[in-house]
Amino acid sequence: MRILDALAMRPLDRPPVWFMRQAGRYLPEYMDLRKAHTFQESVHQPDIAAEITLQPMRRFDLDAAIIFSDIMTPLEGMGIHVDFNPGPSLEPMTLAEVANVPSFQVEKVSFVGEAITEVRASLDSSRAVIGFAGAPFTLLCYLLEGGGSKDFMAARSAIAADPELATRALHRLAEAQGAYLEMQIAAGADVVQLFDSWAGVLSRQGLRDIAFPAAQTALERLAAPTIYFAQAASHGWSDIRSVGATAYGIDWRVPLDVAWDTIGTDVPVQGNLDPAILRSSPAVITTAVEEILAQANGRPGHIFNLGHGINKDTPIANVEAMINAVRS
């Protein structure tokens, strides 16, 4: 598999290409399917989740499929109920409550593994299946806040007030996420990615002391290649290797070569086209892709991706232009 070769830093004629949120709202076939099924139904029914995962693989020449699910899904394995309206919404919890949530029961989210097994059986052996989970810090933000936020002030305040209890809560979540990712690997995932979507709200010290150790705990037990993506966390890149991931995702805010040099050129990186560029034109997209590939300079270990998830209003032709530019 091309993506496994890149993660092993083996020389390739071109980088593998996939993109975050590639299964979803920008595809008309996805929107057609969602007319008959809610988001939660789509996640919980393995045949539907597998179908959604495979939709972009049929349309585009991608090197990997990422399973259709949500970072909040494993919370069900700890007895935590989440609504989607459309974003995640739940009853805010305290640090003490998070630190004492019930032990993770993987059988409660076995539908994710079943979907992965179905996808793996449907793809040829040259293309990888990617599993994923939310990083402990990002999940803690949602749990303490009760939903999304621009700055997660409530979560940050709680962590600052009692860092020892926060560490206990994060460890509880990290153990659960590790078990959740183990299940996905056993089901057929070739690679897993840990999304730390809100790591960037922390200071450099917060990343070093809070987010990165929790992510390391979630990933340390896994017997498959791992990718850690901490959005807007470039101020912590000099410390990010402490996570111990196989590779590190880069958002669009810093040039690829600068990011790679900071993190270390002896480790693979993934990224980092600005998703907004995909709403421009094929010519602009091609130029932007070529700039990123020039920054990579043919070094082994580059996985081409967006710097965050694809926007729902992205034209299909522009996605094709990006993929063609990488492949050519």
What residues are labeled active site?
21, 25, 34, 70, 142
Query: To 10 degrees, what angle do helices 163-187 and 153-161 make?
Result: 120
How many whole angstroms separate alpha carbon 177 and alpha carbon 196? 12
Rounded to whole angstroms, the Cα distance separating 229 from 49 reads: 23
**β-bridge pairing 83-84 and 88-89:** antiparallel
Q: Please tell me the distance from the alpha carbon of residue 69 to that of residue 325, in angstroms, as a whole number.
A: 28
CA distance 318 to 281: 7
- CA distances, 70 to each of 14, 24, 39, 162, 243 (Å): 30, 11, 10, 29, 22
**Rounded to whole angstroms, how far apart are CA atoms 310 and 202?**
24
Nearest to 124 by CA among 58, 59, 184: 58
Q: Please name every residue paired with 247 in a beta bridge, in sequence order, or none if there are none.
A: 227
**DSSP H or E stretch at residue 175:** helix 163-187
Dig out the tokens for 245 from the structure: 């991931």
Backbone phi, psi, residue 4, to 5°: -70, -35
